[in-house]
A and B are shown apart, each in its own frame.
Chain A
Amino acid sequence: MALTRRQLGAGAAAGAAFGIVRNARAASEKVAIGILPLVSHAPTIIAAARGYFAAQGLDAKLVTFQAAEPMAVGIASGDIDFGVTAITGGLVSLADKGAVKIIGGSLAEKKGVDGQKVVASNAAYAKGLTDIAGLRGKSYAVTTAGSSFEYVAYKAAQKAGFPASDITYRPLQTIPACIAAVKTGQVDAWDMLPSIIAILLHDKAAHVIAAVQDFIPDYQVTTVFTSTRNIDKRAEVVKRFLAGFSRGIDDYDAALVAKTMAPKEVDAIVAEIHKYVFAGMPLAKARPHITNGVMHVNKGAALNVASVADQLAWLNANKLVPAGSTMKKLVDTSFVKTF
């Protein structure tokens, strides 16, 4: 008996020691954050560069991905802790399996700020595709079925008052393939972030026929998400990540959207972003690509739940996600302001 008690005592002491170690380590908790080399991921880059995560006691490591899908899978598998991506069938499917959850909002359409555009190829434009009503019976470039491109086309059809099935979708998998198809007139229309649309317009390879914010107001384009394991076991870390991330958003907004920041400070921020985005170009050449066509990011990573619900309803209606995928499984609204 006595022996057992002594053993128990030793166990408790060891537990206490572990507790101390864990608290000490919590001061600098390691987190891996997935980003894509796009300007829309600048808030994360800025927060990491300016030490906003470190200030929250997070030892943040940025991991660059080339596509959103592997990033989502990386979060589900636990290799990555946080990521920012569009609401796709893949993300919802992972959420339905209980692996990931949306915890905040990022990129969004906002009146008065540059946003996504729908473009027509030169050939289609010449034949009269000049507004979204003209999309009826035309072909539309998408990356994959269930991607945000298809959602945008669906909303355009809804706004113009014709069934979305009257549009022919052409899955082309990658953004470069979509660009090539638009440039050569093999698809009639496509939608994209303003920075890439600017390049197409510069090459006189397409015409803008509509702004996405005109028919999907306050569209929540990308969201912040993490693994359910993090929410359950490291809720404190999630909160601290969002706090650091929010400071990154504030700087992003001041430097690139509202442009209230001092030019010198802006330069420093652009240089930081350039380490990840358009890194293959010299800074002077990359600068306009970084500073032009910057979209709005929700302050405090606030989440437009209504927009997310609308996108989920569309995915469900088109059977692009497991039957019965719900907002409850997809979104955890306890971390940020929602609207």
Chain B
Amino acid sequence: MRLLADRVGHRYGTTEVLRDIGIAIGGGEIVCIVGPSGCGKSTLLRMLGGLEQASEGRVLLEGEPPAGSLNPITYIFQDFALLPWRTVEGNIRLVLEDHKLGATAMRAIVDDVLERTRLKDFRAALPRQLSGGMKQRVAIARALAVRPAVMLMDEPLSALDAQTRELLMDDLVELWTRERFSACYVTHNLAEAVRLGHRVHVLSRRPGRIRETVEIDMPLAERAERAAELEAMQRHIWLVMREEARAADRELADAG
């Protein structure tokens, strides 16, 4: 199954935020979207996830979702979006309860995703007892529980400190190596983009258009060791983006 944006554009009132975006997500690849602040990357992600309607163009699903997928397009939020009144297990159960799975099946899924994200010992913990990194792991476990075909990740590591971010990036790489999930990963952090993306779309400042697409043909598992090559790639993307970011910065200051 593939998720396609077909010439998507969007405006809030008179402000045009996105123009003529065409991207495809699927085939077990991670597509990263980077761009300066206010370029509409999060808006684009919400449209891909059906949480917002595009004013131009269409968002399309190609092919059938894999059998057993409970929620083919699944979101991961920057602020984790965990229910504070539910335990780790309760938060995972929340997204399964509407599917009438039966007690044993549900239990099996919960056990499985807790195992895969190494959260077994935290089953009964409340979100407030967890660190930011652990919270995002819970959110990832919750996403895995519904067996998504495409994961939409909205700056999932931005709320975390640098060390936790490194750890979670390793986790994501390991997880992808095992599961080969497809994802659209929105971030403003270029290091994340080159570590996790098979393809990186660089958006221009508002209205966001695709400035450049960078294919990174290096296995995810090897990237931690080949930091120098990644650094060059990150530098290249930064050069593309720098002018846009500077202009956007000034624009926002003017607007303010």
Q: Is A–B contact present in the complex under a CB 8 A cutoff?
A: no
